[in-house]
Structure 1
Amino acid sequence: MSALRRVAVVGSGPSGVYTVQALLERDRSGALAVDVLDRLPCPYGLVRYGVAPDHEKIKSLQHTLRGVLEDPRVRFVGNVPVGGGGIAPEELRGLYQAVVYCVGAAADRRLGIPGEDLAGSVSATEFVSWYSGHPDAGGGFPLDAGSAVVLGVGNVAVDVARILVRGAAELRGTDMPQAPLDALARTAARRVHVVGRRGPSQAKFTTKELRELGTLPGVDTVVREAELLRDPRYADPAGLPAPVRRNLAVLGDWARRPDTGAARRVDLRFFLRPVAVLGTAAGAVRAVRFERTAPDGEGGVRGTGRFHEIEARWVLRSVGYRGVPLPGLPFDAATGTVPHERGRVLRDGVPAPGEYVAGWIKRGPTGVIGSNRPCAKETVASLLADADALAARPVPEADPLPRLGGEGRTPVPWSGWLGIEAAEAELGRTLARTSVKISDWPGLLRAARASGHS
């Protein structure tokens, strides 16, 4: 390990930081230098921009990630895109003995049904990015719609539903940017339908996330017991994993609970497969058409030929993430991942010297945040097994930092990120709130360049 001097990790989310941590734990000489590159001026990836703002416990993982990034052997370098207008992977290979790509899965999966591109039909990922303050996020959501349909029954779908019906007073104590907070305060949805094509025993949410829906003040959470009973595992859950049994128990309790007539409600629906998004004459969403499904006896579902429509002016698809190609790296379009062998990037089926992957771009968007740790350790084990060959790769003695910027682009160091943190804390004070995210590129870069933080 002592022969390795310079490694780059592309991406500062959990998979990237866990990769750095695994490298540091095996560095006995203290001579290793790791540059963590990110196209954003802010670290932490989906922990900052994908975890709901009212989930403080999960967001507190930032403290753990921070401890790794503040190690003296590590240098955070933000505002450095790789590929596609930024520094090319080929150039990175010439600057570092090894490069580990931890770039996640940035795109959302599509449904491939008619009407998916109507006005008011969006990905849940876009909405999450907006309320989480991602500087690339758009807007223009039909927030005045009284009813929304969320397609999918995972944690992101539950997060989106909760944010849509939650009161502004409950979100004011979070770091949600002020503009989304104000918009949601004016237009909280009255009814949100969370719809899955399979049964409750196959839903992907965790019990903690699910239970939160049942504790929101002024909100009824509605489940139809008839839909639960269509799932044979609901009546006989003995062979199911404990988390699934807990989910079924929660859903069963809700199904038997009286409707209080609250002004806002979340309807959890099962065995409904979307077949079309229906539009108005003006090209906007007016409803979603579903085919009722039934268990096929093999773990999937089959269509029944019976259909049902749910009226809504807003549809958010939450059916998973998908990796996108990084120019200069090989890519398997079928899996949405970079071809690899235990983390070693494969070019034409052969391991590429000095190139590695970890996280979702390696294994696909599966698992929870903690799943990135063993994934990163496997990749680092491969990298260290190659250490002698990597140490022999010729790289310049000069600091690569001047080569990482581009035309009109200045890399943001860790001190620049501290400037952003300070500016967000000050913004929160002016709004009589806790720290509030800056959500635009100019604002982030101004804060990073502020006196004493550049």
Structure 2
Amino acid sequence: MPALSESAADTPAPAADAAATGGLRVAVVGAGPAGIYAADILTTRDPSATVDIFDRLPTPYGLIRYGVAPDHPRIKQIIVALHRVMENPRIQFFGNVHVGADLKVDELRTYYDAIVFATGAERDRSIGIPGEDLHGSYGAADFVAFYDSHPDREQVWDLTHARSVAVIGVGNVGLDVARLLARTGDELLYTDIPAHVHEVLRNSAVTDVHMFARRGPAQAKFTPVELRELDHSPNVQVVVAPEGMEFDAASEAALGQSKSLRMVVDVLSEWAMRDPEPGPHRRIHIHFLENPIEILGEDGHVVGLRTEHQELTGGGNVRGTGEFTDWEVQAVYRAVGYRSESIEDLPFDTVKLVLPNAGGRVLDLDGEPLPATYATGWVKRGPVGLIGHTKSDAAETVGHLLADAPTLTRAPQRSRDAVKALLESKGLPVTDFEGWDRLDAHELGLGEPHGRGRVKVHTREGMTGVARIR
């Protein structure tokens, strides 16, 4: 678990009205790890600063709640550390507030000296091949949002028709998607999935999941732990195609420099040599050096995936061989990365799909820093790195904010109560952190009769009904 600074949680400064203290008033937009880290670092480095965190969801924690697979409770434990940060009386949480829609960016500037955007990345990048729009071609982010019960995303899914499916991409999200597609619904009853997700997984017709990686095994980005988790289920067997287990000089050099990568390759090599086991297992097939070039369709539906075999060039890169294979699959899940979404009234880099910035200072269309406007997390650097990397990222952004602090124009309305009054005047069903604690206790209570740690409330109305400010 990534370590958080404990100073704000262990020795919190008393809450104070910024108008009286003259301390910085900062709004953070996004209550995932990136936003919470930024709030923690800021209030630790500046004992007079107060931070209000806004999120369009009724709950905090962002991708920890809505981006981590339900069978990864170890990762979800980071919420314990994030909760300690949110208990700091100089940090307030306002849920159910969509900045850019419910609350304009310019409105925030009336109440805050600076704004930090930490809105993350939760939409799918396009893979850019023919057939991407066929029925049965899905973005991995949409499936993740389904099994994690995101209240603003589609909560209906059909797994009853596709027996063989393809997953394009073998990063962390690709591994999660393949594992969840291959596991049986009943295997996941110990997790926090609600009844409708269990029902879909229980009735799944999937027997084979084919994962495709454009490059070789020595270029794999997952860790040994993540890889081995694919093979933990008694109902799932992992099969590695030996044809893709190739290495060039750059591969051998990479293996010599990374113990973790060597362990990954050792596991893959072991799986490539073992014989398939008899029985009604579901299977995950991993194919390296296969580049998807077209999703094949018939009558508007996915019927296959065409790949071109790749060869290593000697320097760790690959090139096509002109050898093509058509794989019979009835669904394709595209796990080639996430992208951020633009924020109203702010510039957006449509190539990198992030807020244009220099070290966290958001830039205007001329490349000049926008006054008092900052970014952190994936909306700053793109969807790369693990959760732990987000803290150093936030530290850079906060460092620049504090360096700019003497020149920042102070907001005219500085009372914390003034912000609450504004939200009330808009009639928004705002939730706060005490409301999260109520919802947390409610979900734990739903799981207790069934011997489960938690069962998620999956509708916005249901969550808000429990958590709304009283």
1:379-413 deviation per Cα after TM superposition (whole angstroms, max 9, x unaligned): 11111111222264534445212224675522111
In the other structure, the counterpart of 2:379 is 361
- Call closer, same or farther: CA 1:422–1:293 in 2, change over 3 Å: same
Q: Distance in 1 between matches of 2:205 and 2:463?
A: 28
In the other structure, the counterpart of 2:286 is 268
- Name the aligned partner's letter for residue 338 of structure 1: L
SS of corresponding position for 1:412: coil
In the alignment, which of 129, 132, 137 is matched to residue 148 of structure 2? 132
In the other structure, the counterpart of 1:415 is 434
Moved more, 286-295 or 222-231: 222-231
In the alignment, which of 432, 437, 440 is matched to residue 456 of structure 2? 437
In the other structure, the counterpart of 1:175 is 192
Q: Is the 8 A contact 1:417 1:448 kept in 2?
A: yes
State yes or no: 1:277 paired with 2:274: no
State yes or no: 1:141 paired with 2:160: no
1:45-101 deviation per Cα after TM superposition (whole angstroms, max 9, x unaligned): 001101111111100001111110111111110000011x22111111121011110
Q: Is the 8 A contact 1:338 1:362 kept in 2?
A: yes
State yes or no: 1:293 paired with 2:293: no
In the other structure, the counterpart of 2:8 is none
Q: Distance in 2 between matches of 1:214 and 1:431?
A: 26
Q: Distance in 2 between matches of 1:344 and 1:192?
A: 43
State yes or no: 1:227 paired with 2:244: yes
Gaps of at least 5 residues in structure 1 are none
SS of corresponding position for 1:437: coil
Q: Is the 8 A contact 2:120 2:340 kept in 1?
A: yes
- Call closer, same or farther: CA 1:264–1:167 in 2, change over 3 Å: same
In the other structure, the counterpart of 1:93 is 109
Moved more, 167-176 or 5-14: 167-176
In the other structure, the counterpart of 2:9 is none
Q: Is the 8 A contact 1:142 1:313 kept in 2?
A: no
Gaps of at least 5 residues in structure 2 are 1-17
State yes or no: 1:378 paired with 2:396: yes
In the other structure, the counterpart of 1:259 is 276
1:297-339 deviation per Cα after TM superposition (whole angstroms, max 9, x unaligned): 3432211111101111111000001121111111111111112
Cα shift at 1:3: 4.2
SS of corresponding position for 2:369: strand
In the other structure, the counterpart of 2:56 is 39
Q: Distance in 2 between matches of 1:75 and 1:394?
A: 19
In the alignment, which of 403, 407, 412 is matched to residue 394 of structure 1? 412
Q: Is the 8 A contact 1:193 1:269 kept in 2?
A: yes
SS of corresponding position for 1:229: coil
Cα shift at 1:214: 2.1
In the other structure, the counterpart of 2:12 is none
Q: Distance in 2 between matches of 1:8 and 1:404?
A: 14
TM superposition outliers: structure 1 runs of 4+ over 4 Å: 230-238, 405-408
> How big is the alpha-carbon RMSD for the aligned residues of Structure 1 and Structure 2?
2.0
In the other structure, the counterpart of 1:311 is 328
In the other structure, the counterpart of 1:49 is 66
SS of corresponding position for 2:197: helix
- Call closer, same or farther: CA 1:248–1:388 in 2, change over 3 Å: same
Q: Distance in 2 between matches of 1:221 and 1:406?
A: 56
Q: Is the 8 A contact 1:222 1:265 kept in 2?
A: yes
Identity over aligned pairs, percent = 43
Q: Is the 8 A contact 1:6 1:97 kept in 2?
A: yes
Q: Distance in 2 between matches of 1:265 and 1:69?
A: 42
**TM-score, length basis structure 2:** 0.90
In the alignment, which of 63, 67, 82 is matched to residue 84 of structure 2? 67
1:364-393 deviation per Cα after TM superposition (whole angstroms, max 9, x unaligned): 111100110011001111111112222645
- Name the aligned partner's letter for residue 30 of structure 2: G
SS of corresponding position for 1:71: coil
**TM-score, length basis structure 1:** 0.93
Q: Is the 8 A contact 1:338 1:361 kept in 2?
A: yes
- Name the aligned partner's letter for residue 157 of structure 1: G
- Name the aligned partner's letter for residue 282 of structure 2: R
In the alignment, which of 326, 329, 338 is matched to residue 321 of structure 1? 338
In the alignment, which of 127, 131, 134 is matched to residue 111 of structure 1? 127
SS of corresponding position for 2:270: helix
Cα shift at 1:231: 5.2
Q: Is the 8 A contact 1:287 1:310 kept in 2?
A: yes
State yes or no: 1:403 paired with 2:422: yes
Q: Is the 8 A contact 1:41 1:79 kept in 2?
A: yes
Q: Is the 8 A contact 2:218 2:255 kept in 1?
A: no
In the alignment, which of 183, 195, 201 is matched to residue 212 of structure 2? 195
1:19-58 deviation per Cα after TM superposition (whole angstroms, max 9, x unaligned): 0110121123xx4221110000010000110111111110
Q: Distance in 2 between matches of 1:37 and 1:215?
A: 39
1:133-189 deviation per Cα after TM superposition (whole angstroms, max 9, x unaligned): 110121443401211100001011111111111133321111112211121012152
- Name the aligned partner's letter for residue 295 of structure 2: V
- Name the aligned partner's letter for residue 159 of structure 2: L
State yes or no: 1:7 paired with 2:7: no
In the alignment, which of 224, 248, 271 is matched to residue 207 of structure 1? 224
In the alignment, which of 352, 361, 372 is matched to residue 335 of structure 1? 352
Q: Is the 8 A contact 2:51 2:91 kept in 1?
A: yes
Cα shift at 1:113: 1.1
Q: Is the 8 A contact 2:224 2:263 kept in 1?
A: yes
